[in-house]
Amino acid sequence: MLHPQYEADVRNLLSLPGIARGHTRYYHNSNLRGFPKRRNGGASDIAYGVDVGFHNSAALLMLVDQLLGESRTLVSNSERSAEFAQVLPEDIALTDTEREALIKARVGQSGYRDELLGYWGGCAVTDCCVPMLLRASHIKPWRVASGAERLDPFNGLLLTPNLDLAFDQGLISFDDHGQILLGEDLDPDSARALNITPDLRLRQIDQRHRGYLAWHRDNLFRK
């Protein structure tokens, strides 16, 4: 069920495999808190939302990516279908429990961030312990990770916003010992302004982090 403000976005995605509208255009329910209301044949207005269905979790993930603005501009149906086909086989191989965990992780409803909080105790670099200032970041990004990698806490870093964004953009990375690496696109003045210095390092590192960090250095880091 989606807020009506997303109806135009959904309309653009209906031609893609796995996404379909329900039997009616809108679903009405008085329990839809925060949703607008409209008259639906009764004596008073009632909350409503856009009724959308999914044949599998890959279709749901695709729609969530679009609504979060994380996907690129909409591509042709053939290109998107090819991308969809790459995701679908692995989703089929997941157990029901794994598939549910994967969907919840994508929409921010899982314990993945809590797992990172439990492991790191604070920012993986600065030890900042204010939860509101910490972001759970995948080392190997969601869009290219397998289902298992998306749920693996060793594919995650808990970082303050400045480090999180710099890491996601490939402006920084870390070597196998956790030492920070500064990319050429991060000029020294900007780095100092962000308190990103060459002496920063991951406070602890496990062997299971290293494969993900190597992927980040090879594929995202702007050397």
What one-character-per-residue DSSP string does 179-198 give?
A: BEEE-TTS-HHHHHHTT--T
pLDDT of amino acid 169: 93
Question: Two tokens at 123?
Answer: 């920012």
DSSP code for 178:
-
Helix (H, G, I), strand (E, B) or coil at 27: strand
89: how many CB neighbours lie within 10 A of its CB?
9
Checking if the pLDDT of 165 tops 80, the result is: yes
Reported residue count of the chain is 223
Q: How confident is the model at residue 65 (pLDDT cuts 50, 70, 90)?
A: low
More confident residue, 43 or 13: 43
Q: How confident is the model at residue 172 (pLDDT cuts 50, 70, 90)?
A: very high
pLDDT of amino acid 183: 95
- Share above pLDDT 90 across residues of the chain, in percent, rounded to a whole number: 40
Checking if the pLDDT of 175 tops 60, the result is: yes
- Angle, CA of 93, 139 and 200, to the nearest 5°: 160
Average pLDDT over residues 143-155: 89
Closest CA to 71 of 136, 13, 18: 13
Lowest mean pLDDT among 139-143, 163-167, 196-200: 139-143
pLDDT of amino acid 100: 61
The structure's pTM equals: 0.56
pLDDT of amino acid 96: 61
Q: Check if the beta carbon of residue 161 is closer than 8 Å to that of residue 135.
A: yes
Q: What is the pLDDT of residues 190-216, one digit of tens each?
A: 999 999 999 999 999 999 999 999 999
